[in-house]
Structure 1
Amino acid sequence: MNSKDQFNNYLKHIINNDLVSSYVPEILNSFESLQLKKNDFFVSKNQICNYFCFIKSGILQHSIDVDGEEKTTYLALKNTCTAALKSFLHQQPSRKNIKALSNCELLVITIDDFNRLIKENTAFFQFYHKLIEHQIFLIDDYRIDLLTLSPEERYQKLLMNDPELLQSIPLHYLASFLGISKRHMSRIRKNIK
């Protein structure tokens, strides 16, 4: 399946409205391919995020620096969209880094094309609205989990909901993302299979 077909399926799944399917080709034509090699930056802290992207393959790590230590704030996986959104939308320097944890194939759109689609393309407007709504739900769940679940329970939830993360992401990134020390994460992995 080529990247546009994969993105087309993703758009239709998120939008879930056949009445706007005639708008989808314009969306697909507004995105271009971008390749990142492992450890390349999609955006660096204090730089402007130039693109909003769909991840065809690979993993993008969102991170911040806290007292000289890299902290993972989000892991964007295959068949999802991501950006340093505030930086992208407001064209201001990013407060975080977004780095490829593996070779990545992305479909990207510039701010001008993004804004044009939001204003003129009903399907893209619906897609973006539903995407943001879904992300808010995920962020809310993540914050509640940090406050109510033990480290072991957070790890078990990840194991149940996103088992591919455990295969494809180094332990220290997962530990940071779950708010667990690397040493504690190693103990948890030994005890939970």
Structure 2
Amino acid sequence: MLALLTAHNLFEKDLVLKRNEFLKVAGTIDTNIYFIEEGSLRIFIEQEGEEQIIRFGYLNDLIVSLDSFLTEQPSDFYIQAIKKTTVKIISKKVFFEFINESEENLKLWNAILENLVLQQMEREKDLLISSVNERYSRVLKRSPRLFQEIPHKYIANYLRMTPETLSRLKKS
């Protein structure tokens, strides 16, 4: 993916975020696609003063506030650096010019969207499973790298459990 995007010179600029710095805040429009070159990000919403993490991104991942990207409307999502993070940026305009250049590029966009939909469906299944043990097992199986890249307090939030419960599950 990176090679294809780089070969077509789609990256317009790089951005370095400090730990805890926001790439996007709720209530804003963001129509960029971000490729994570280094570091990690979390996407979350805030409800009644509590953060609910819905997604992570780390090395070689694409991150986008998809609702805002597609509708060009403000989004409720925050995107925040977990640690120092470098992203390459592609604007919607440049990306859509690229995907409309050829059938192959359009297929790439469709594959990206299909992957996002499938990931979201897996995430929804995780949230519907009441057993914390099964939730943990599913995510560990699907994304073992997550447990090396992301601090446990964020993973616990993502899994809708306390850090203590996550720690207990990891030990068993």
TM-score scaled to structure 2, two decimals?
Answer: 0.87
Match for residue 10 of structure 2?
30
Amino acid at match of 1:61: R
* In 2, Cα distance between equivalents of 1:77 and 1:30: 20
**Deviation of residue 103 (structure 1)?**
1.5
Structure 1 residues 143, 105: CA separation in 2 closer, same or farther (over 3 Å shift)?
Answer: same
* In 2, Cα distance between equivalents of 1:80 and 1:123: 21
Cα RMSD for the two superposed structures: 2.2
Q: Deviations over 1:44-96 (max 9, x none)?
A: 11111141111122211000111101110111122221111121232221211
Residue ranges of structure 1 left out of the alignment (5+ in a row): 1-5, 13-23
* In 1, Cα distance between equivalents of 2:51 and 2:7: 39
- 3-state SS of 1:120 partner: coil
**Deviation of residue 168 (structure 1)?**
2.6
Question: In the TM superposition, what are the counterparts of 1:14-93 in structure 2 within 5 Å?
Answer: 25-26=7-8, 29-32=9-12, 33-93=14-74
Match for residue 146 of structure 1?
127
- Indicate if the aligned counterparts of 1:72 and 1:177 stay in contact, CA closer than 8 A: yes
Q: Which has the higher strand share?
A: 2
Match for residue 118 of structure 1?
99
Match for residue 117 of structure 2?
136
User: Between the two proteins, what is the percent identity of the paired residues?
Assistant: 30
- 3-state SS of 2:20 partner: coil
Q: Deviations over 1:122-149 (max 9, x none)?
A: 3332211101101111211222233246
Structure number with bigger Rg: 1
Match for residue 163 of structure 2?
182
- 3-state SS of 2:123 partner: helix
- Indicate if the aligned counterparts of 1:45 and 1:94 stay in contact, CA closer than 8 A: yes
Structure 1 residues 183, 86: CA separation in 2 closer, same or farther (over 3 Å shift)?
Answer: same
* In 1, Cα distance between equivalents of 2:102 and 2:22: 30
Q: Which moved more, 1:65-74 or 1:105-114?
A: 105-114
Q: Which has the higher helix share?
A: 1
- 3-state SS of 1:61 partner: strand
Residue ranges of structure 2 left out of the alignment (5+ in a row): none
Match for residue 154 of structure 2?
173
TM-score scaled to structure 1, two decimals?
Answer: 0.78
Q: Deviations over 1:84-113 (max 9, x none)?
A: 112123222121100111222212111221
Number of aligned residues: 171
Structure 1 residues 136, 157: CA separation in 2 closer, same or farther (over 3 Å shift)?
Answer: same
